[in-house]
Amino acid sequence: MQAVRFIAIAIYGLCFSLAHAETLTGQVVKISDGDTLTILDASRQQHKIRLSGIDAPERKQAFGTVSRQYLASLAFGKAVTVEWYKRDRYQRIIGVVLLDGRDVNLELVKAGLAWHYKYYENEQPLGERLLYTEAEEVARLDRVGLWSDPSPIPPWDFRRK
């Protein structure tokens, strides 16, 4: 039953989450960390992408390297589509990375290698927000990835130190 609910939310999210987004396609040429990558588009221009809706552990933080490696295993060298809606203060594109229609951002949350970034959840369409919330809850309950740590430190707290 939970699988059916998850699929229904996914379909809803796909239908409504990217309605107002711009699209960028390219090949992933660099993985900076678990939530930032660089793509090279058809005109050979590089674009730094910050994965929206998630926050992965920092490099020097527990699971930081694992998160980066997992993102690399999913996307490095592959053609992706980025559905995006804004840039951050560093001029990175903030968006959802899609690989063969699969939400890479969500895959990191499912693997327990990123938090659903609740601070910015109001910027997410409802369907996407529900998917990310549920994925984090399942990863926590199953003690997957960073949730195997009894008290993982969120990256936003780690950065403050």
Residue 134 falls in the annotated catalytic set: no
* Distance from C-alpha of 154 to C-alpha of 46, rounded to nearest angstrom: 29
Residue 58 falls in the annotated catalytic set: yes
Q: From the CB of residue 29, how many other CB atoms can be counted at a distance below 10 Å?
A: 13
- The active-site residue, picked from 68, 83, 87, 92, is 92
CA torsion through residues 93, 99, 102, 108, sign = negative
Single-letter amino acid code for the residue at 62: A
- The active-site residue, picked from 50, 83, 129, 134, is 50
What string of DSSP letters covers 56-77? PPPTTSTTHHHHHHHHHHHHTT
Q: Enumerate the β-bridge partners of residue 84.
A: 22, 95
DSSP summary character for residue 153 = P
- The active-site residue, picked from 58, 83, 107, 134, is 58
- Give the burial string for 110-131 (b: 16+ CB within 10 Å, else e): bbbbbbbbbeeeeebbebbbbb
Residue 140 falls in the annotated catalytic set: no
- Residues with a catalytic annotation lie at 50, 58, 92
